[in-house]
Amino acid sequence: MLDAQAMAQISETSVAVELETSDMTLNIGPQHPSTHGVLRLVAKVDGEVITDVRPILGYMHRGYEKISEVRTYPQVIALINRIDWTSGYANEIPFVVAAERLMGIEVPERAQWIRLILTEMTRISAHLLFMGSFPLELGATTPLMFALRDRERVLDVLESVTGGRFHPNFNRIGGIKPAAGAGKEQKKLTQDLPAGFFTETEAAMDGVIASTDQLEKLLRKNEIFVARTKGIGVLPPEVALSYGVTGPNLRASGVPYDLRNETDYLPYDQVDFEIPVGTEGDSFDRWWVRLAEIRQSANIVKQAIQKVPSGPLQAKVPKIIKVPKGETYVRAEVPKGVMGYYLVSEGGQGPYRVKIRTASFSNLSMLPWILEGVIVPDLLAVMGSLDFVLGDVDR
Amino acid sequence: MADTPNPIPGMIRGMSVTWKTLFTKPVTVNYPKVKEEPHPRARGVIALDQDACTVCMLCARSCPDWCIYIEGHKEEQEPSKPGGRVRVRAELDRFDIDYALCMYCGICVEVCPFDALFWSPEYEYGEQEMGELLHRKEKLQDWLETVPDAPALES
Protein backbone atom coordinates (compact mmCIF):
# COMPACT_ATOMS: atom_id res chain seq x y z
CA MET A 1 0.00 0.00 0.00
CA LEU A 2 1.26 3.43 -0.85
CA ASP A 3 0.65 6.36 1.40
CA ALA A 4 -1.24 9.42 0.28
CA GLN A 5 1.86 11.48 -0.45
CA ALA A 6 3.36 8.93 -2.77
CA MET A 7 0.00 8.52 -4.45
CA ALA A 8 -0.19 12.22 -5.19
CA GLN A 9 3.36 12.22 -6.52
CA ILE A 10 2.67 9.37 -8.89
CA SER A 11 -0.54 10.88 -10.20
CA GLU A 12 1.14 14.25 -10.72
CA THR A 13 3.95 12.63 -12.65
CA SER A 14 1.56 10.68 -14.80
CA VAL A 15 -0.45 13.81 -15.52
CA ALA A 16 2.70 15.66 -16.49
CA VAL A 17 3.68 12.83 -18.83
CA GLU A 18 0.20 12.75 -20.31
CA LEU A 19 0.12 16.51 -20.94
CA GLU A 20 3.43 16.60 -22.73
CA THR A 21 1.69 16.96 -26.04
CA SER A 22 3.19 18.45 -29.15
CA ASP A 23 1.97 21.87 -30.27
CA MET A 24 -0.89 21.78 -32.69
CA THR A 25 -0.90 24.04 -35.71
CA LEU A 26 -4.36 25.48 -36.23
CA ASN A 27 -5.29 27.10 -39.49
CA ILE A 28 -7.94 29.79 -39.22
CA GLY A 29 -9.41 31.32 -42.31
CA PRO A 30 -8.98 32.67 -44.92
CA GLN A 31 -12.76 32.67 -45.14
CA HIS A 32 -13.66 33.19 -41.56
CA PRO A 33 -16.82 35.28 -41.42
CA SER A 34 -15.80 37.14 -38.27
CA THR A 35 -12.63 38.63 -39.63
CA HIS A 36 -14.15 41.47 -41.66
CA GLY A 37 -12.62 40.10 -44.83
CA VAL A 38 -10.28 37.30 -45.69
CA LEU A 39 -7.43 36.92 -43.25
CA ARG A 40 -5.59 33.66 -42.72
CA LEU A 41 -4.06 32.91 -39.35
CA VAL A 42 -1.68 30.06 -38.72
CA ALA A 43 -1.71 29.59 -34.97
CA LYS A 44 0.46 27.31 -32.86
CA VAL A 45 -1.74 26.08 -30.08
CA ASP A 46 -0.67 24.44 -26.84
CA GLY A 47 -3.88 22.98 -25.55
CA GLU A 48 -6.15 25.99 -25.63
CA VAL A 49 -3.44 28.61 -25.32
CA ILE A 50 -2.07 30.24 -28.43
CA THR A 51 1.71 30.35 -28.39
CA ASP A 52 2.40 31.83 -31.79
CA VAL A 53 0.32 33.38 -34.52
CA ARG A 54 1.35 34.13 -38.06
CA PRO A 55 -1.11 36.27 -40.03
CA ILE A 56 -1.01 35.68 -43.77
CA LEU A 57 -2.18 38.67 -45.76
CA GLY A 58 -2.79 39.44 -49.36
CA TYR A 59 -6.09 37.72 -50.10
CA MET A 60 -7.75 41.10 -50.62
CA HIS A 61 -4.93 42.76 -52.53
CA ARG A 62 -6.48 44.86 -55.26
CA GLY A 63 -3.44 46.89 -56.23
CA TYR A 64 -4.72 50.40 -55.60
CA GLU A 65 -1.24 51.87 -55.42
CA LYS A 66 -0.34 50.49 -58.84
CA ILE A 67 -3.67 51.18 -60.52
CA SER A 68 -3.49 54.80 -59.31
CA GLU A 69 -0.48 55.30 -61.57
CA VAL A 70 -2.54 54.66 -64.69
CA ARG A 71 -5.67 56.58 -63.73
CA THR A 72 -6.48 60.27 -63.67
CA TYR A 73 -7.07 62.14 -60.41
CA PRO A 74 -10.90 62.05 -60.50
CA GLN A 75 -10.75 58.33 -61.23
CA VAL A 76 -8.36 57.69 -58.34
CA ILE A 77 -10.75 59.44 -55.94
CA ALA A 78 -13.50 57.06 -57.05
CA LEU A 79 -11.20 54.08 -56.50
CA ILE A 80 -9.82 54.94 -53.07
CA ASN A 81 -13.33 54.98 -51.65
CA ARG A 82 -13.07 51.23 -51.68
CA ILE A 83 -9.88 50.82 -49.64
CA ASP A 84 -11.70 50.76 -46.33
CA TRP A 85 -15.29 50.25 -47.28
CA THR A 86 -16.66 51.10 -43.86
CA SER A 87 -15.34 54.65 -44.08
CA GLY A 88 -15.36 55.49 -47.77
CA TYR A 89 -15.69 59.23 -47.40
CA ALA A 90 -12.86 59.64 -44.90
CA ASN A 91 -10.46 57.83 -47.25
CA GLU A 92 -10.81 60.51 -49.89
CA ILE A 93 -9.79 63.42 -47.70
CA PRO A 94 -6.02 62.88 -47.34
CA PHE A 95 -5.57 62.16 -51.05
CA VAL A 96 -7.52 65.20 -52.14
CA VAL A 97 -5.72 67.41 -49.64
CA ALA A 98 -2.35 66.10 -50.86
CA ALA A 99 -3.19 66.97 -54.47
CA GLU A 100 -4.51 70.38 -53.41
CA ARG A 101 -1.31 71.17 -51.52
CA LEU A 102 0.79 70.30 -54.55
CA MET A 103 -1.37 72.52 -56.74
CA GLY A 104 -1.42 75.31 -54.16
CA ILE A 105 -5.21 75.54 -54.09
CA GLU A 106 -7.03 77.25 -51.26
CA VAL A 107 -10.23 75.30 -50.63
CA PRO A 108 -13.32 77.45 -49.90
CA GLU A 109 -14.40 77.42 -46.27
CA ARG A 110 -17.85 76.07 -46.94
CA ALA A 111 -16.37 73.05 -48.71
CA GLN A 112 -13.99 72.46 -45.81
CA TRP A 113 -16.79 72.51 -43.25
CA ILE A 114 -18.94 70.18 -45.32
CA ARG A 115 -15.96 67.87 -45.59
CA LEU A 116 -15.60 67.96 -41.83
CA ILE A 117 -19.27 67.17 -41.23
CA LEU A 118 -19.30 64.27 -43.66
CA THR A 119 -16.01 62.88 -42.30
CA GLU A 120 -17.36 62.84 -38.77
CA MET A 121 -20.56 61.22 -39.94
CA THR A 122 -18.48 58.55 -41.65
CA ARG A 123 -16.61 58.04 -38.38
CA ILE A 124 -19.91 57.59 -36.57
CA SER A 125 -21.16 55.06 -39.09
CA ALA A 126 -17.88 53.10 -38.99
CA HIS A 127 -17.83 53.02 -35.19
CA LEU A 128 -21.50 52.07 -35.04
CA LEU A 129 -20.71 49.10 -37.25
CA PHE A 130 -18.05 48.12 -34.72
CA MET A 131 -20.60 48.55 -31.92
CA GLY A 132 -22.66 45.92 -33.70
CA SER A 133 -19.99 43.55 -34.95
CA PHE A 134 -17.87 43.32 -31.81
CA PRO A 135 -20.65 42.14 -29.45
CA LEU A 136 -21.80 39.84 -32.24
CA GLU A 137 -18.43 38.13 -32.13
CA LEU A 138 -19.01 37.56 -28.43
CA GLY A 139 -22.44 36.13 -29.15
CA ALA A 140 -24.71 39.12 -28.53
CA THR A 141 -27.03 39.86 -31.43
CA THR A 142 -29.18 42.67 -30.03
CA PRO A 143 -26.52 45.43 -30.15
CA LEU A 144 -26.02 44.64 -33.84
CA MET A 145 -29.65 45.41 -34.59
CA PHE A 146 -29.62 48.61 -32.55
CA ALA A 147 -26.32 49.81 -33.98
CA LEU A 148 -27.28 49.09 -37.59
CA ARG A 149 -30.60 50.87 -37.11
CA ASP A 150 -28.87 54.13 -36.23
CA ARG A 151 -26.06 53.60 -38.68
CA GLU A 152 -28.66 53.38 -41.42
CA ARG A 153 -29.98 56.76 -40.38
CA VAL A 154 -26.54 58.33 -40.65
CA LEU A 155 -25.90 56.66 -44.00
CA ASP A 156 -29.28 57.91 -45.17
CA VAL A 157 -28.24 61.51 -44.55
CA LEU A 158 -24.91 60.83 -46.26
CA GLU A 159 -26.73 59.42 -49.27
CA SER A 160 -29.04 62.39 -49.51
CA VAL A 161 -25.99 64.64 -49.93
CA THR A 162 -23.52 62.54 -51.86
CA GLY A 163 -25.70 60.04 -53.70
CA GLY A 164 -23.88 57.04 -52.30
CA ARG A 165 -24.16 55.23 -49.02
CA PHE A 166 -20.78 53.52 -48.96
CA HIS A 167 -18.84 55.07 -51.80
CA PRO A 168 -19.75 58.76 -51.78
CA ASN A 169 -17.06 59.89 -54.26
CA PHE A 170 -17.97 63.42 -53.26
CA ASN A 171 -14.62 65.18 -53.05
CA ARG A 172 -13.04 66.88 -55.97
CA ILE A 173 -9.68 68.55 -56.11
CA GLY A 174 -10.44 72.13 -55.09
CA GLY A 175 -13.59 71.49 -53.12
CA ILE A 176 -16.53 69.13 -53.16
CA LYS A 177 -18.48 67.74 -56.07
CA PRO A 178 -19.78 70.53 -58.28
CA ALA A 179 -22.67 68.66 -59.89
CA ALA A 180 -24.41 65.91 -57.98
CA GLY A 181 -25.95 64.71 -61.20
CA ALA A 182 -29.61 64.51 -60.25
CA GLY A 183 -32.23 66.80 -61.69
CA LYS A 184 -32.91 67.52 -65.31
CA GLU A 185 -32.67 71.31 -65.25
CA GLN A 186 -29.95 72.09 -62.78
CA LYS A 187 -27.53 69.39 -63.68
CA LYS A 188 -24.65 71.57 -64.75
CA LEU A 189 -25.27 74.22 -62.13
CA THR A 190 -23.34 74.00 -58.93
CA GLN A 191 -25.20 71.76 -56.57
CA ASP A 192 -25.26 72.43 -52.88
CA LEU A 193 -26.47 70.52 -49.87
CA PRO A 194 -30.09 69.40 -50.29
CA ALA A 195 -32.72 71.44 -48.45
CA GLY A 196 -33.36 70.29 -44.92
CA PHE A 197 -29.92 68.74 -44.55
CA PHE A 198 -29.03 70.59 -41.36
CA THR A 199 -32.24 69.74 -39.51
CA GLU A 200 -32.08 66.15 -40.66
CA THR A 201 -28.47 65.78 -39.58
CA GLU A 202 -29.16 67.31 -36.22
CA ALA A 203 -32.04 64.86 -35.66
CA ALA A 204 -29.85 61.97 -36.75
CA MET A 205 -27.11 63.06 -34.33
CA ASP A 206 -29.60 63.19 -31.47
CA GLY A 207 -30.66 59.69 -32.44
CA VAL A 208 -27.04 58.56 -32.47
CA ILE A 209 -26.39 59.95 -29.00
CA ALA A 210 -29.53 58.26 -27.66
CA SER A 211 -28.39 55.05 -29.32
CA THR A 212 -24.96 55.16 -27.68
CA ASP A 213 -26.68 55.47 -24.30
CA GLN A 214 -28.78 52.46 -25.18
CA LEU A 215 -25.77 50.44 -26.31
CA GLU A 216 -23.87 51.39 -23.18
CA LYS A 217 -26.78 50.34 -21.00
CA LEU A 218 -26.97 47.02 -22.80
CA LEU A 219 -23.31 46.11 -22.60
CA ARG A 220 -21.34 48.09 -20.07
CA LYS A 221 -22.55 46.09 -17.09
CA ASN A 222 -23.43 42.92 -18.95
CA GLU A 223 -21.74 40.11 -17.00
CA ILE A 224 -20.82 38.03 -20.03
CA PHE A 225 -19.51 40.99 -21.99
CA VAL A 226 -17.41 42.23 -19.09
CA ALA A 227 -16.04 38.76 -18.35
CA ARG A 228 -14.99 38.28 -21.95
CA THR A 229 -13.42 41.68 -22.52
CA LYS A 230 -12.02 43.08 -19.24
CA GLY A 231 -8.34 42.30 -18.92
CA ILE A 232 -8.25 40.34 -22.18
CA GLY A 233 -5.96 41.33 -25.02
CA VAL A 234 -4.12 43.98 -23.03
CA LEU A 235 -2.00 46.28 -25.17
CA PRO A 236 0.49 48.39 -23.20
CA PRO A 237 1.11 51.89 -24.60
CA GLU A 238 4.81 51.34 -25.28
CA VAL A 239 4.08 48.20 -27.35
CA ALA A 240 1.31 49.98 -29.22
CA LEU A 241 3.63 52.86 -30.05
CA SER A 242 6.46 50.59 -31.16
CA TYR A 243 4.18 48.76 -33.59
CA GLY A 244 2.77 51.99 -35.01
CA VAL A 245 -0.75 51.31 -33.79
CA THR A 246 -2.98 54.35 -34.26
CA GLY A 247 -6.55 55.39 -33.82
CA PRO A 248 -8.93 54.19 -31.11
CA ASN A 249 -6.69 51.16 -30.42
CA LEU A 250 -3.84 53.45 -29.38
CA ARG A 251 -6.09 55.80 -27.43
CA ALA A 252 -7.55 52.83 -25.53
CA SER A 253 -4.02 52.14 -24.31
CA GLY A 254 -3.86 55.60 -22.81
CA VAL A 255 -2.00 57.62 -25.44
CA PRO A 256 -4.00 60.74 -26.33
CA TYR A 257 -2.76 60.88 -29.92
CA ASP A 258 -5.27 62.21 -32.37
CA LEU A 259 -4.31 63.83 -35.67
CA ARG A 260 -7.43 65.96 -35.61
CA ASN A 261 -5.67 68.03 -32.97
CA GLU A 262 -2.26 68.05 -34.59
CA THR A 263 -2.60 68.81 -38.28
CA ASP A 264 -4.75 71.26 -40.18
CA TYR A 265 -6.18 69.26 -43.05
CA LEU A 266 -9.68 70.22 -41.89
CA PRO A 267 -10.76 73.05 -39.54
CA TYR A 268 -10.89 70.88 -36.43
CA ASP A 269 -9.27 73.62 -34.36
CA GLN A 270 -12.51 75.62 -34.49
CA VAL A 271 -14.65 72.97 -32.80
CA ASP A 272 -14.54 71.77 -29.21
CA PHE A 273 -14.11 68.10 -28.60
CA GLU A 274 -12.43 65.79 -26.17
CA ILE A 275 -10.25 62.83 -26.96
CA PRO A 276 -11.51 59.83 -25.03
CA VAL A 277 -8.62 57.85 -23.60
CA GLY A 278 -8.69 54.40 -22.06
CA THR A 279 -6.72 53.27 -19.03
CA GLU A 280 -6.15 49.53 -19.31
CA GLY A 281 -5.72 48.98 -23.02
CA ASP A 282 -7.84 45.83 -23.01
CA SER A 283 -10.71 44.82 -25.29
CA PHE A 284 -13.22 46.56 -23.06
CA ASP A 285 -11.37 49.87 -23.27
CA ARG A 286 -11.16 49.63 -27.02
CA TRP A 287 -14.95 49.18 -27.10
CA TRP A 288 -15.49 52.03 -24.66
CA VAL A 289 -13.19 54.47 -26.50
CA ARG A 290 -15.11 53.94 -29.73
CA LEU A 291 -18.41 54.44 -27.93
CA ALA A 292 -17.14 57.70 -26.46
CA GLU A 293 -15.82 58.77 -29.85
CA ILE A 294 -19.25 58.39 -31.40
CA ARG A 295 -20.56 60.90 -28.85
CA GLN A 296 -17.69 63.29 -29.50
CA SER A 297 -18.17 63.04 -33.26
CA ALA A 298 -21.90 63.69 -32.91
CA ASN A 299 -21.05 66.79 -30.88
CA ILE A 300 -18.54 67.92 -33.52
CA VAL A 301 -21.17 67.56 -36.24
CA LYS A 302 -23.69 69.54 -34.18
CA GLN A 303 -21.18 72.35 -33.67
CA ALA A 304 -20.06 72.30 -37.30
CA ILE A 305 -23.63 72.65 -38.55
CA GLN A 306 -23.80 76.03 -36.81
CA LYS A 307 -20.51 77.13 -38.34
CA VAL A 308 -20.96 76.28 -42.02
CA PRO A 309 -20.56 79.58 -43.86
CA SER A 310 -22.20 80.34 -47.17
CA GLY A 311 -20.05 80.69 -50.23
CA PRO A 312 -18.66 78.69 -53.11
CA LEU A 313 -18.05 74.97 -52.96
CA GLN A 314 -15.26 74.82 -55.47
CA ALA A 315 -12.02 76.74 -55.88
CA LYS A 316 -11.11 77.72 -59.42
CA VAL A 317 -9.50 74.67 -60.97
CA PRO A 318 -8.87 73.83 -64.61
CA LYS A 319 -11.21 71.33 -66.22
CA ILE A 320 -8.42 68.85 -66.86
CA ILE A 321 -6.51 68.59 -63.60
CA LYS A 322 -2.76 68.43 -63.85
CA VAL A 323 -0.83 68.44 -60.61
CA PRO A 324 2.57 70.16 -60.85
CA LYS A 325 5.77 68.23 -60.29
CA GLY A 326 6.50 67.52 -56.67
CA GLU A 327 5.80 65.21 -53.80
CA THR A 328 3.99 65.47 -50.51
CA TYR A 329 2.69 63.37 -47.67
CA VAL A 330 -0.63 64.08 -46.01
CA ARG A 331 -1.99 62.20 -43.02
CA ALA A 332 -5.50 62.23 -41.67
CA GLU A 333 -7.37 60.66 -38.80
CA VAL A 334 -9.78 58.18 -40.35
CA PRO A 335 -12.05 56.00 -38.18
CA LYS A 336 -9.48 53.19 -37.99
CA GLY A 337 -6.48 55.39 -37.24
CA VAL A 338 -3.96 57.37 -39.25
CA MET A 339 -4.19 57.16 -42.99
CA GLY A 340 -1.58 58.80 -45.16
CA TYR A 341 -0.97 59.27 -48.85
CA TYR A 342 2.51 59.85 -50.19
CA LEU A 343 1.81 61.45 -53.53
CA VAL A 344 4.48 61.89 -56.19
CA SER A 345 3.53 63.86 -59.26
CA GLU A 346 5.47 64.30 -62.47
CA GLY A 347 3.06 66.87 -63.82
CA GLY A 348 0.68 64.50 -65.55
CA GLN A 349 -3.06 64.00 -65.35
CA GLY A 350 -2.58 61.18 -62.89
CA PRO A 351 -0.22 60.50 -60.00
CA TYR A 352 3.24 59.17 -60.76
CA ARG A 353 3.31 57.15 -57.58
CA VAL A 354 0.99 56.81 -54.60
CA LYS A 355 2.04 55.12 -51.39
CA ILE A 356 -0.87 54.51 -49.08
CA ARG A 357 -0.35 54.13 -45.37
CA THR A 358 -3.44 52.53 -43.94
CA ALA A 359 -4.32 52.29 -40.29
CA SER A 360 -5.50 48.69 -40.30
CA PHE A 361 -2.20 47.35 -41.61
CA SER A 362 -0.24 48.75 -38.67
CA ASN A 363 -2.99 47.81 -36.24
CA LEU A 364 -2.85 44.25 -37.49
CA SER A 365 0.94 44.04 -37.39
CA MET A 366 0.93 43.57 -33.64
CA LEU A 367 -1.48 40.64 -33.87
CA PRO A 368 1.26 38.05 -33.09
CA TRP A 369 2.21 40.05 -29.99
CA ILE A 370 -1.29 40.55 -28.63
CA LEU A 371 -2.53 37.03 -29.36
CA GLU A 372 0.34 35.30 -27.58
CA GLY A 373 -1.00 33.59 -24.48
CA VAL A 374 -4.63 34.22 -25.40
CA ILE A 375 -6.92 31.20 -25.37
CA VAL A 376 -8.61 30.14 -28.60
CA PRO A 377 -12.17 31.23 -27.65
CA ASP A 378 -10.84 34.73 -26.96
CA LEU A 379 -9.05 34.93 -30.30
CA LEU A 380 -12.01 36.40 -32.13
CA ALA A 381 -12.91 38.61 -29.20
CA VAL A 382 -9.48 40.23 -29.28
CA MET A 383 -9.35 40.42 -33.06
CA GLY A 384 -12.81 41.88 -33.19
CA SER A 385 -11.88 44.55 -30.68
CA LEU A 386 -9.01 45.71 -32.89
CA ASP A 387 -11.54 46.56 -35.62
CA PHE A 388 -9.51 46.15 -38.77
CA VAL A 389 -10.85 45.84 -42.26
CA LEU A 390 -8.98 43.50 -44.54
CA GLY A 391 -9.51 45.73 -47.54
CA ASP A 392 -7.68 48.40 -45.60
CA VAL A 393 -4.87 45.99 -44.74
CA ASP A 394 -4.18 44.64 -48.22
CA ARG A 395 -5.34 47.66 -50.28
CA MET B 1 -16.11 27.69 -11.42
CA ALA B 2 -15.95 30.21 -8.66
CA ASP B 3 -15.57 33.37 -10.75
CA THR B 4 -18.48 32.65 -13.05
CA PRO B 5 -20.67 35.76 -13.01
CA ASN B 6 -24.23 35.51 -11.88
CA PRO B 7 -26.29 35.42 -15.09
CA ILE B 8 -29.67 36.30 -13.59
CA PRO B 9 -29.48 40.17 -13.52
CA GLY B 10 -28.18 40.28 -17.06
CA MET B 11 -30.94 37.97 -18.22
CA ILE B 12 -33.59 40.16 -16.60
CA ARG B 13 -32.13 43.24 -18.25
CA GLY B 14 -32.01 41.46 -21.58
CA MET B 15 -35.60 40.27 -21.37
CA SER B 16 -36.76 43.77 -20.47
CA VAL B 17 -35.22 45.01 -23.72
CA THR B 18 -37.01 42.22 -25.56
CA TRP B 19 -40.35 43.17 -24.00
CA LYS B 20 -39.89 46.84 -24.77
CA THR B 21 -38.94 46.12 -28.38
CA LEU B 22 -41.92 43.82 -28.76
CA PHE B 23 -44.26 46.78 -28.44
CA THR B 24 -42.37 49.38 -30.47
CA LYS B 25 -42.96 50.05 -34.13
CA PRO B 26 -40.34 48.36 -36.33
CA VAL B 27 -37.95 50.63 -38.22
CA THR B 28 -37.71 48.25 -41.17
CA VAL B 29 -40.21 47.97 -44.01
CA ASN B 30 -41.50 44.84 -45.70
CA TYR B 31 -39.51 45.41 -48.88
CA PRO B 32 -41.20 43.94 -51.92
CA LYS B 33 -44.59 45.11 -50.66
CA VAL B 34 -43.55 48.42 -49.14
CA LYS B 35 -40.89 50.50 -50.83
CA GLU B 36 -38.88 53.34 -49.42
CA GLU B 37 -38.52 56.39 -51.61
CA PRO B 38 -34.87 56.69 -52.69
CA HIS B 39 -33.16 60.07 -52.44
CA PRO B 40 -33.30 62.10 -55.65
CA ARG B 41 -29.50 62.24 -55.67
CA ALA B 42 -29.08 58.49 -55.19
CA ARG B 43 -26.90 56.96 -57.84
CA GLY B 44 -29.15 54.19 -59.07
CA VAL B 45 -28.95 53.94 -62.83
CA ILE B 46 -27.63 56.17 -65.62
CA ALA B 47 -30.13 57.55 -68.13
CA LEU B 48 -29.22 58.67 -71.64
CA ASP B 49 -30.73 61.43 -73.73
CA GLN B 50 -29.91 60.18 -77.22
CA ASP B 51 -30.73 63.46 -78.96
CA ALA B 52 -28.30 65.40 -76.80
CA CYS B 53 -25.42 62.97 -77.30
CA THR B 54 -22.85 64.07 -79.87
CA VAL B 55 -20.67 60.93 -79.75
CA CYS B 56 -17.78 62.90 -78.28
CA MET B 57 -16.60 59.83 -76.32
CA LEU B 58 -15.65 61.86 -73.25
CA CYS B 59 -17.69 59.62 -70.95
CA ALA B 60 -16.24 56.42 -72.40
CA ARG B 61 -12.70 57.78 -72.04
CA SER B 62 -13.10 59.02 -68.49
CA CYS B 63 -14.75 55.86 -67.19
CA PRO B 64 -12.37 54.22 -64.69
CA ASP B 65 -13.28 50.69 -65.74
CA TRP B 66 -14.31 51.27 -69.37
CA CYS B 67 -17.84 50.00 -69.12
CA ILE B 68 -19.29 52.39 -71.73
CA TYR B 69 -19.27 51.31 -75.37
CA ILE B 70 -19.98 53.94 -78.01
CA GLU B 71 -20.09 53.71 -81.77
CA GLY B 72 -21.26 56.39 -84.17
CA HIS B 73 -21.06 57.65 -87.70
CA LYS B 74 -21.19 60.99 -89.47
CA GLU B 75 -24.27 61.95 -91.43
CA GLU B 76 -24.73 64.87 -93.78
CA GLN B 77 -27.78 66.98 -93.16
CA GLU B 78 -29.76 68.93 -95.71
CA PRO B 79 -29.16 72.66 -95.38
CA SER B 80 -31.93 74.36 -93.44
CA LYS B 81 -32.21 77.13 -96.06
CA PRO B 82 -31.77 76.62 -99.82
CA GLY B 83 -28.17 77.37 -100.72
CA GLY B 84 -27.01 76.89 -97.14
CA ARG B 85 -24.08 74.88 -95.96
CA VAL B 86 -24.34 71.12 -95.67
CA ARG B 87 -23.87 70.28 -92.00
CA VAL B 88 -22.32 67.10 -90.68
CA ARG B 89 -23.93 65.58 -87.66
CA ALA B 90 -22.66 62.67 -85.60
CA GLU B 91 -25.24 59.93 -85.24
CA LEU B 92 -25.21 57.52 -82.36
CA ASP B 93 -25.22 53.85 -83.42
CA ARG B 94 -24.42 52.16 -80.19
CA PHE B 95 -24.37 53.34 -76.59
CA ASP B 96 -24.11 50.53 -74.09
CA ILE B 97 -23.38 50.66 -70.39
CA ASP B 98 -22.35 47.40 -68.80
CA TYR B 99 -23.81 47.58 -65.30
CA ALA B 100 -21.99 44.40 -64.39
CA LEU B 101 -18.79 46.45 -64.63
CA CYS B 102 -20.01 49.90 -63.64
CA MET B 103 -18.84 51.06 -60.22
CA TYR B 104 -21.35 53.91 -59.97
CA CYS B 105 -18.78 56.66 -59.54
CA GLY B 106 -20.68 59.10 -61.74
CA ILE B 107 -17.66 60.52 -63.56
CA CYS B 108 -19.36 60.00 -66.95
CA VAL B 109 -22.37 62.04 -65.84
CA GLU B 110 -20.07 64.77 -64.61
CA VAL B 111 -17.88 65.10 -67.69
CA CYS B 112 -20.72 65.05 -70.23
CA PRO B 113 -20.60 68.55 -71.75
CA PHE B 114 -23.96 68.26 -73.56
CA ASP B 115 -26.27 67.13 -70.73
CA ALA B 116 -26.89 63.73 -72.25
CA LEU B 117 -26.31 61.59 -69.15
CA PHE B 118 -28.28 61.74 -65.91
CA TRP B 119 -28.48 59.83 -62.70
CA SER B 120 -31.77 58.21 -61.83
CA PRO B 121 -32.42 56.79 -58.34
CA GLU B 122 -34.14 53.74 -59.85
CA TYR B 123 -32.55 50.54 -58.54
CA GLU B 124 -34.72 47.57 -59.49
CA TYR B 125 -32.99 46.18 -62.55
CA GLY B 126 -31.38 43.03 -61.25
CA GLU B 127 -31.16 40.22 -63.79
CA GLN B 128 -30.73 36.46 -63.73
CA GLU B 129 -28.12 36.54 -66.49
CA MET B 130 -25.00 38.68 -66.27
CA GLY B 131 -25.19 39.64 -69.94
CA GLU B 132 -28.61 41.19 -69.42
CA LEU B 133 -26.97 43.91 -67.35
CA LEU B 134 -25.61 45.43 -70.55
CA HIS B 135 -28.15 48.17 -71.18
CA ARG B 136 -28.57 49.26 -74.80
CA LYS B 137 -29.26 52.86 -75.75
CA GLU B 138 -33.01 52.25 -76.01
CA LYS B 139 -33.14 50.95 -72.47
CA LEU B 140 -30.96 53.82 -71.24
CA GLN B 141 -33.33 56.22 -72.98
CA ASP B 142 -36.25 54.67 -71.10
CA TRP B 143 -34.57 55.44 -67.80
CA LEU B 144 -34.75 59.15 -68.66
CA GLU B 145 -38.38 59.27 -67.54
CA THR B 146 -37.38 58.28 -64.04
CA VAL B 147 -34.88 61.13 -63.59
CA PRO B 148 -36.28 63.38 -60.86
CA ASP B 149 -36.42 67.15 -61.02
CA ALA B 150 -33.68 69.03 -59.28
CA PRO B 151 -34.38 69.10 -55.54
CA ALA B 152 -34.39 72.27 -53.49
CA LEU B 153 -31.06 73.31 -52.02
CA GLU B 154 -29.88 74.49 -48.64
CA SER B 155 -28.82 78.11 -48.92
Task: Give residue A189's pLDDT.
Answer: 47
Q: Would B121 be classed as within a structural domain? A: yes
Question: Which residues, other chains included, contact A301 with Cβ-Cβ below 8 Å and sequence gap of 6+?
Answer: A117, A120, A121, A124, A201, A205
- Quick one: how many helices (H) and strands (E) in chain B? 4, 5
- CA separation for the pair A93, A340 (Å, rounded): 10
Question: Which residues, other chains included, contact A142 with Cβ-Cβ below 8 Å and sequence gap of 6+?
Answer: A135, A218, B14, B17
Considering only alpha carbons, which residue of chain B is nearest residue A180? Answer: B41
Mean pLDDT computed over every residue of chain A: 83
Q: Would B132 be classed as within a structural domain? A: yes
Considering only alpha carbons, which residue of chain A is nearest residue B106? Answer: A181
Task: Give residue B84's pLDDT.
Answer: 78
Which chain B positions have a beta carbon within 8 Å of A310's beta carbon?
155
Q: Would B64 be classed as within a structural domain? A: yes
Number of residues in chain A: 395
- The tally of CA atoms less than 13 A away on the side-chain side of residue B41 is 29
Count Cβ atoms below 10 Å from residue B92 Cβ, excluding itself.
17
Is pLDDT of A34 > 60?
no
Task: Give residue A1's pLDDT.
Answer: 55
Give the global pTM. Answer: 0.84
Distance from CA of A310 to the nearest CA of B (A): 7
Residue ranges with strand state E in A113-267: 171-172, 175-176
What is the ipTM metric for this complex? 0.80
Distance from CA of A2 to the nearest CA of B (A): 32
Nearest to A89 by CA among A149, A154, A19: A154
Q: Would B128 be classed as within a structural domain? A: yes
Q: Would B107 be classed as within a structural domain? A: yes
Task: Give residue A180's pLDDT.
Answer: 47
Closest Cβ–Cβ partner in A79, A162, A195 for B153: A195
pLDDT digits (tens, 9 = 90+) for B94-121: 888 998 889 888 888 888 877 888 888 8
Q: Do B105 and A167 touch (CB under 8 A)?
A: yes
pLDDT digits (tens, 9 = 90+) for A265-291: 888 888 888 888 888 888 888 898 999
Task: Give residue A18's pLDDT.
Answer: 59
Q: Do B154 and A177 touch (CB under 8 A)?
A: no
Task: Give residue A17's pLDDT.
Answer: 57
**Range(s) of the domain holding residue B133:** 36-68+94-146
Question: Which residues, other chains included, contact A310 with Cβ-Cβ below 8 Å and sequence gap of 6+?
Answer: A110, B155
pLDDT digits (tens, 9 = 90+) for A90-145: 888 899 899 888 888 888 888 889 889 999 999 999 899 888 888 888 888 888 88
Q: Considering its fold, how many domains does chain B have in total?
A: 1
pLDDT digits (tens, 9 = 90+) for A197-209: 888 888 888 888 8
Pairing of strands B134-135, B87-98: antiparallel
Task: Give residue B1's pLDDT.
Answer: 45
- The burial class, CB within 10 Å (0-12 / 13-18 / 19+), for A20 is exposed
Give ∠ CA A297-A303-A306 in degrees, rounded to 5.
Answer: 145
Mean pLDDT computed over every residue of chain B: 83
Give ∠ CA A137-A139-A145 in degrees, rounded to 5.
Answer: 85
Q: Do A167 and B13 touch (CB under 8 A)?
A: no
- Interface residues from chain B to A (CB-CB < 8 Å): 5-7, 9-10, 13-14, 17, 27, 39-43, 62, 64, 103-107, 109-110, 115, 118-119, 121, 147-155
pLDDT digits (tens, 9 = 90+) for A10-33: 666 655 555 566 778 888 777 654
CB A123 within 8 A of CB A87: yes
Which chain A positions have a beta carbon within 8 Å of B155's beta carbon?
192, 310
Q: Do A196 and B154 touch (CB under 8 A)?
A: yes
Closest Cβ–Cβ partner in B9, B13, B40 for A183: B40
- CA separation for the pair B119, B142 (Å, rounded): 13
| Residue A156 amino acid letter | D
Of all residues in chain A, what percent carry a pLDDT higher than 90? 1
pLDDT digits (tens, 9 = 90+) for A218-229: 888 777 788 888
Is pLDDT of A181 > 50?
no
Q: How far apart are the first and last CA of chain B?
A: 64
Closest Cβ–Cβ partner in B10, B105, B148 for A78: B105
- CA separation for the pair B42, B120 (Å, rounded): 7
CB B37 within 8 A of CB B151: no
CB B10 within 8 A of CB A222: yes
Q: Would B117 be classed as within a structural domain? A: yes
Residue B153: its H or E element: none
**CATH number, residue B109:** 3.30.70.3270
pLDDT digits (tens, 9 = 90+) for A331-340: 888 888 888 8
- The CATH number given to A25-393 is 1.10.645.10
Is pLDDT of B29 > 70?
yes
Distance from CA of B98 to the nearest CA of A (A): 18
Tell me, what DSSP letter sits at residue B101? Answer: T
Q: Do B154 and A74 touch (CB under 8 A)?
A: no
Is pLDDT of A179 > 70?
no
